[in-house]
Amino acid sequence: MNRALWLTLFFAACGPEQQQVERSVTPAVIDEPQVASATAAPLTGFPCDVREVLQANCASCHTGQTYSPHFFTREDLLQPQFTQSLAQRIQPTADSPMPPRAMERQPTAAERQVLEAWIAAGLPAGECGALSP
């Protein structure tokens, strides 16, 4: 085959039109937003609304010296001594409610609903961290 004919066929097949198609496909593959989210760390803390309720109503006793067992993290609350009674103990009508009736600060109905929904959902993890003493 003639060298000039071969070069003409080669450039026709790999010419500007082919290069333009390749350029239009390449950026979409490189710029996929899923790449960044695939490396994100899994959530292990409390959901922020749950942490806020626990911090306001539980942390003063359960992260200090007052009550045992202590809890600081969501993982602590996943232990059997908590999960077996958590849903019942947050009810104001419970035999031994948490917080105790004698405590000045009691959760509002909305705060109790936040905890009830979280417990019913299986205590899912969130982006807010541990409780503070």
- Would you say 131 and 51 are in contact if contact means Cβ atoms under 8 Å apart? yes
Closest residue by Cα to residue 115 from 59, 51, 43: 51
Report whether pLDDT(46) > 90: yes
59-64 average pLDDT score: 88
Task: Identify the sign of the CA torsion 131, 107, 89, 46.
Answer: negative
pLDDT given for residue 53 in this prediction: 97
The pTM score is: 0.67
38-49 average pLDDT score: 87
Domain edges within the chain: 3-38, 48-120
Rounded to 10 degrees, the C-alpha dihedral 101/105/106/110 comes to 180
In tens, the pLDDT along 69-87 reads 789 999 999 998 888 889 9
The residue that leads in pLDDT, 84 or 117, is 117
